[in-house]
Amino acid sequence: MALAVRPRFRFEPYVEFGKKAIAREATYRFEVFTSIGSFVLRMYLLRMVWVALYAHNAAPRGLPLHAILTYSAVALLMGLVLDIDQVSSLYDKLHDGSIVSDFMRPILVPLYFFADGTGEVLFHAALVLPALALALLIVHIDVPSATTLATFALSFVLGYFVGFCINFILNCVAFWTLEINAVQLIVTFLTDLLGGELVPLIFFPLAFQHVLFALPFAAMFSTPLLIYVGEIGPDRYASALGIQAAWLVGLAIVCVVLWRAGSRRIVVQGG
């Protein structure tokens, strides 16, 4: 009943787009195999690296071995969801020109990409469970208190949307350049390092930390992870989530501006 009050906008088509995306992803079975395989390999590797490092050096303040192994395991599990470019269909459609037909459909095109991307991500999120089971064979993962877990979940969702905006912006660049693969890979590798996915940002020299914590990459990975392992305590929850939300708002504005400008100057090559 409540939905019927809005005559023009209907939510259902977008749910369908999401379901379609899930079905599409499920057909690429070998990708599932490789992402799980890569996950196990990296989990083993990180365990070996951290164990060797902690065996020969004094443990840094606040992060004993079990905490860093938990950090790495949760980071890799988050990566299964966050490392996906859920807006890549925008690039594909710009490249082959099929974006034109999307503009003719009675839908909000950006929302279509959001629904499509969410479906893709939900499918990959289902991999988290088997990956978690395998991870537990390799390392022990600490489970924090319910409050911490809830804050982590909230922070993770904010991080996911920040990641969505970054991917949306990168794919929008294709409105102008048509080629984005190299730029995208550059951003992916920078995110891995500067977002704290591989090495916690608190291991960087202090001068770097001031800059890194202010960047959007930290809002994707580092903030939820540091909340999970307790490095960001309850007294700093509000400010940590606040910075994430600020990045989300800022990047969302960039998305809107880029989308408006881009969709106005659409260029379709031949076809």
Partner 1 sequence: MRAVYGQHWRINLLTALEYRENFLLWSAFTVVYHGTAIATLWVVLHTFPSMNGWDFKDMAFLYGLWMLAHAIHDTVFFGVANVPEYIRDGEFDRLLVRPLDTLFAVIAIPGQIFPDELILALGYFVVATVYSGVRVDAIFVLCVPLVVLGGTLIELAINLIVATIAFWFVRVDALRWIVLQLEQEFTRYPIGIYSRGVRLFLTFVFPFAFMNYFPATYFLHKSEGALGLPPVVGLLTPAVGLIFFGAAYVFWRFGLNRYKGVGH
Binding residue (CB under 8 A) for partner 1 from 5, 8, 30, 101 = 30
| CB closer to partner 1, 202 vs 241 | 202
CA distance linking residue 203 with residue 225, whole number of Å: 14
By CB under 8 A, residue 37 contacts partner 1:
yes
By CB under 8 A, residue 190 contacts partner 1:
yes
By CB under 8 A, residue 179 contacts partner 1:
yes
| CB closer to partner 1, 136 vs 185 | 185
By CB under 8 A, residue 182 contacts partner 1:
yes
How many CB atoms within 10 Å of residue 263?
14
| CB closer to partner 1, 129 vs 185 | 185
By CB under 8 A, residue 198 contacts partner 1:
yes
User: Using an 8 Å Cβ cutoff, are 70 and 132 in contact?
Assistant: no
By CB under 8 A, residue 12 contacts partner 1:
no
Residue corresponding to tokens 């501006």: 257
CA distance linking residue 245 with residue 125, whole number of Å: 23
Binding residue (CB under 8 A) for partner 1 from 13, 22, 24, 49 = 49
| CB closer to partner 1, 100 vs 183 | 183
By CB under 8 A, residue 211 contacts partner 1:
no
By CB under 8 A, residue 26 contacts partner 1:
no
**Binding residues among 91-150 for partner 1 as defined by CB under 8 A:** none
Footprint on this chain of partner 1 (rule: CB under 8 A) = 30, 33-34, 37-38, 41-42, 45, 48-49, 51-54, 56-57, 60, 177, 179, 182-183, 185-186, 189-190, 192-193, 198-199, 203-205
